Amino acid sequence: MYRVMLIDDETAVRKLLQVSIDWNSVNMEVVGEAASGIEAINTIDEIRPDVCFVDISMPFMDGLEFTELATKRYPDLIIIIMTALDDFEYARKCIRLPVMDYMVKPVMKDDVHEALLRAKKKLDDLNATRTAPEDNSDENEPAEGSLPGDISSMEQIKAYIDEHYTDPQLNLTSVAQQFGFSASYLSRRFKQETGTNFVEYLTGCRMRKAMELALHGNKMFWTSEAVGIPDPNYFGRCFKKFTGQSYSDYVQEHKA
């Protein structure tokens, strides 16, 4: 099945898309959601969608910025832009980007279904013209039991993450490129050798530092920037998932 990601800061829009469309009828399934472009770009390497529905107007990283970054990383990714603004200038900008469809909110069920049929045809054609299965993309990677040079484990990579986690551009792909791997190879090896996936490890580094900064009573927007997550809403969800408390409750409980 083809993999779909829904990216919109409105929860109701994401839920409506998820429940109103017969995804099975177009051989697709929703495998991930994000409430901002920042959250999406931080999780796309693990989710690996084939199709993204992207709201054009989101804080901290809008749909056009996300599209530019995501399609540079995954050139075959199909982008379907959604906007509440019936604005030609936005549409013109989309035309310069690899966007397959442009839909004005509120999107209609029939329009979504037609867009998905076009996406499915494009994906089917791409699969038919590929000369080798995608799984063979790692054939030229290092042998399963060793890494390049004298690296025999993930310790050097973990140390690199520990040192650079404050960079908001740090992600699976950038680290993989730094060490000469494909993203899929590093993802597989990281999980195999550490017992956790890359995003969880990176988020853990950021949240542990955030907990330390919270002890000094720092405002959430300041802490989120300091640990490499400039979207405070996404940061807040990560913090609560990691600690079991909202940021404000954690600060209140631990203040001197």
Domains by residue range for the chain, with CATH: 2-132 (3.40.50.2300), 147-256 (1.10.10.60)
In contact, 168 and 228? CB cutoff 8 Å: yes
10 Å CB burial of residue 219 (0-12, 13-18, 19+) is: middle
Of 97, 69, 70, 64, residue with least CA distance to 82: 64
The pLDDT of residue 144 = 46
Axis-axis angle for helices 88-96, 63-73 (nearest 10): 10
The pLDDT of residue 57 = 86
Predicted structure pTM score: 0.76
In contact, 82 and 56? CB cutoff 8 Å: yes
The pLDDT of residue 21 = 94
What's the rounded Cα separation, in Å, for the pair 20 and 58? Answer: 23
Tens digit of pLDDT at every position of the chain (256 positions):
999 999 999 999 999 999 999 999 999 999 999 999 999 998 898 899 999 999 988 888 888 889 998 998 899 999 999 987 766 566 666 677 888 988 888 889 999 999 999 999 999 998 888 755 544 544 445 574 445 444 457 889 999 999 999 999 898 888 988 888 888 888 888 988 889 999 999 999 999 999 999 998 899 999 999 999 999 999 999 999 999 999 999 998 887 6
The pLDDT of residue 86 = 65
- Report the first-to-last Cα separation within the chain, whole angstroms: 53
Give me the half-sphere count of Cα atoms (radius 13 Å) on the Cβ side of residue 197.
13
In contact, 196 and 5? CB cutoff 8 Å: no
CB neighbour list of residue 112: distance below 8 Å, 6 or more residues apart:
17, 20, 21, 103
In contact, 40 and 9? CB cutoff 8 Å: no
